Amino acid sequence: MNKLAIFGGKPLRVNLFEAHNTMGIEEQLAVEEVLKSGVLSKFLGCWHSDFYGGPKVQTFERMWAEKLNVSHAISVNSNTSGLITALGAVGIKPGDEVIVSPYTMTASAISPVFWGGVPIFADIDEDNFCLSAKSIEKKITKNTKAILVVHIFGHAADMDEIMELAKKYNLFVIEDAAQAPFGKYKDKYVGTIGHIGVFSLNYHKHIHTGEGGMITTNDSNLAERCQLIRNHGEAVVENKGVKNIDNIFGFNFRMPEMEAAIGIEQLKKFDDLLEKRIQNAKYLNEKLGVFNYLDVCIPKPYVKHCYYQQPMKYFAYKNGWLHRDKYLKVLIKELPSSYMRELDPLIGGGYTRPLYLQPVYQQKAINLYKHKKEDLDYSKGICPVVEKMHYEQLITHEFMRPSMGRQDLDDVVSAFYKVHENMQEIIERQNEI
């Protein structure tokens, strides 16, 4: 057996993996075209033909809508602003409760607060790590107005059950599809099943524009409200003849022309990039599914997984009660990071700490309407599944990225096998780790 790096041996691989970089000559030429035009943005914050932005923005929106087979796509400058816009569009008001996931990027949960709404955390499903419909129903009250679903890691939530709840209790459903662009649930694109979908074009997503986002909906009224919230609606509603002006004020969430031009070229590449992720993930699942202490989390058969990250579950009781974090410390020593990420490993334990444990919730440092602080429970233990996943079982990695070739994947697999072959020593010396 080869000596483990954590105990002074040679790492299985020393050379950094290739960077995740989807930019090419096409994006460069598109940016040059915009620069030569001199029109870096064409939005006007008044009722005018340029209220909807410039030609690149409108082309990008049209392409996105056509690809998703949805009626409307509204570009924004981030997924965060898209979520704020969506919640404003469905009419969130002070005191309204929005059921959110505790296991996602922080913006997903905090976005209701911009309208005076109150985030209410439901637990996740331990099979797909998305909001659990059973947990959602337990959190519904007379103040609940919406459910904000996150398709985490690229796997769709169980949308049939969630939409049934929405119908039963007359709730809006916002889909945060930041990590699942063009993923599918039972032949429907995520982001098109609920009332509004929101996508991310942040630099580390599947495709990106540096920063940016896209909102989708089949509801013309909601689309108009999103457009108004995006672009100084209070200055537009009078001349446009808009009657319902609740929540229509004040934001500049507009996407510039240069980002839209990049997005157009990125969108053309998307199918190939996603297929590479899927094939890489399938290969890793086949090779790593042999270890009885790892569950490689095969996607549901009716889901097209987008693999923003690839999750696995680790069971310490099947591996000499070696804690997941110690197992990962040994594994990380065998594998390098990648260019542009030199100091950050491509694999880790858990994802984000359960959001309700952040200071903003622990100290209840949000404006509350119709609620007393003591009535809100953000204590540790309110979502036992997410805490078990985060602190004990879940492993997430990025080894399935499109930049990873077969030899790269084989190095990853070999590192897992090397650790496995030395497991008895690891267990015996775990106090040294």
pLDDT digits (tens, 9 = 90+) for 160-184: 999 999 999 999 999 999 999 999 9
Residue 209 has pLDDT above 90, yes or no: yes
* One-letter amino acid for residue 140 of the chain: I
Q: Helix 257-288 to helix 25-37 angle, to the nearest 10 degrees?
A: 170
Give pLDDT, residue 376.
Answer: 87
Give, in order, the Cα–Cα distances in Å from 88 to each of 16, 55, 145, 230: 44, 26, 12, 10
Residue 105 has pLDDT above 90, yes or no: yes
- Domain residue spans of the chain: 25-266, 270-356+366-432
Mean pLDDT of 97-115: 96
**72: β partners:** 217
Mean pLDDT of 382-390: 98
Residue 373 has pLDDT above 90, yes or no: no
Tokens of 118: 């109150």
pTM: 0.96
Q: Same fold for the domain at 25-266 and the one at 270-356+366-432?
A: no
Mean pLDDT of 274-287: 98
Give pLDDT, residue 231.
Answer: 97
Mean pLDDT of the chain: 96
Residue 425 has pLDDT above 70, yes or no: yes
The answer regarding whether domain 25-266 maps to CATH 3.40.640.10 reads yes
Residue 372 has pLDDT above 90, yes or no: no
Of the candidates 40, 66, 70, which has an alpha carbon nearest to the alpha carbon of residue 55?
Answer: 40
Give pLDDT, residue 182.
Answer: 97
Count of Cβ atoms closer than 10 Å to residue 405 Cβ: 13
> Is the Cβ–Cβ distance between 102 and 354 less than 8 Å?
yes
pLDDT exceeding 70 applies to what percent of the chain? Answer: 99
Give pLDDT, residue 381.
Answer: 97
Which pLDDT band holds residue 35 (cuts at 50, 70, 90)? very high
Residue 130 has pLDDT above 70, yes or no: yes
Mean pLDDT of 68-74: 98
Which pLDDT band holds residue 375 (cuts at 50, 70, 90)? confident
Mean pLDDT of 373-387: 91
Mean pLDDT of 288-312: 97
Angle at 261 between CA 259 and CA 264, to 5 degrees: 110
pLDDT exceeding 90 applies to what percent of the chain? Answer: 95
Give pLDDT, residue 366.
Answer: 78
Residue 370 has pLDDT above 70, yes or no: no
Residue 312 has pLDDT above 90, yes or no: yes
Which pLDDT band holds residue 1 (cuts at 50, 70, 90)? low
270-356+366-432 topology per CATH: Aspartate Aminotransferase, domain 1 (3.90.1150)
